[in-house]
A and B are shown apart, each in its own frame.
Chain A
């Protein structure tokens, strides 16, 4: 028997790592991957609670999160490609103007 809190702590650690990556990373792609890490942490807590309450809807919600993550990845990476095309850099510190 694994306590529910172990799963929640693991998902919290993953989320915290994602937040940390979002703060300290300067590469726009790595920042994007940190967001995926946060989504994964949230997914784990969804599944853990679904197992706790024997409610499958928690697992169905993970599918929705995955769909949103896929849509976000597609649009976000397209934006990254557009940014790289105009600025020739992936460093977020150099992307500091809305207009070129």
Chain B
């Protein structure tokens, strides 16, 4: 029972944050409501017994990635978004279509009755030890591949975000 109440509480916060992301017109407000969504999702992960994942969700997602977003918004001084003809068409067609699709999915899923083996609070089975064994043993190759991916992404970000004239000029003279 407590599980259900906690689930519904955090699910409500989660959905409210997601809807708020759509409603707000200023990107900073959208980013902050996305942080709310991620925080409440971390609570949902805890309810599912994934303790390490909940911590990583808060640290990496709500921490690192969202800070990247906020820094970009502040760096570019992004203002309120302006409405255009195309966005009105997308709103008119998109909202009904997506709502119908979502209701269809919900109807299909709720028709099936299977329960999770809900864990009791405190009995967390997604502990770092077993996750690490899986990650560094069974999934070692994908793990290494993702490390290469991160390296490529870092280099790509540096090249893309650097000024073109700075790349053409080469290393700065005054650095020597």
Residues of A within 8 A of B (CB): 1-10, 12-14, 16-21, 23-27, 29-30, 32-34, 36-37, 40, 43-44, 47-48, 50-52, 54, 56-57, 59-60, 62-64, 66-75, 77-82, 84-85, 90-91, 93
Which of A25, A64, A79 has the most CB atoms of chain B within a 10 A radius of its CB? A25
In the complex with contacts A13-B15, A75-B153, A51-B61 CB distance below 8 A: no
**CB distance B153 to A74 under 8 Å?**
yes
Q: Which secondary structure dominates chain B's binding surface?
A: helix
Q: How many chain B residues touch A (Cβ–Cβ < 8 Å)?
A: 85
B9 contacts chain A at the CB level, 8 A cutoff: no
List the A residue with the shortest CB-CB distance to B12: A10
**CB distance B72 to A33 under 8 Å?**
no
What are 9 A-B pairs with beta-carbon distances under 8 A?
A5-B110, A10-B44, A16-B99, A21-B22, A40-B41, A50-B126, A69-B65, A75-B153, A90-B81
List the A residue with the shortest CB-CB distance to B150: A71
List the A residue with the shortest CB-CB distance to B109: A5
Cα distance, A13 to B18, chains bound together (Å) = 9
Which of B49, B135, B157 has the most CB atoms of chain A within a 10 A radius of its CB? B157
Report the minimum CB–CB distance from B135 to chain A (whole Å).
5
Interface code B85-121, partner A: CB below 8 Å = 1, 0 otherwise? 0110011001100110110011001101111111100
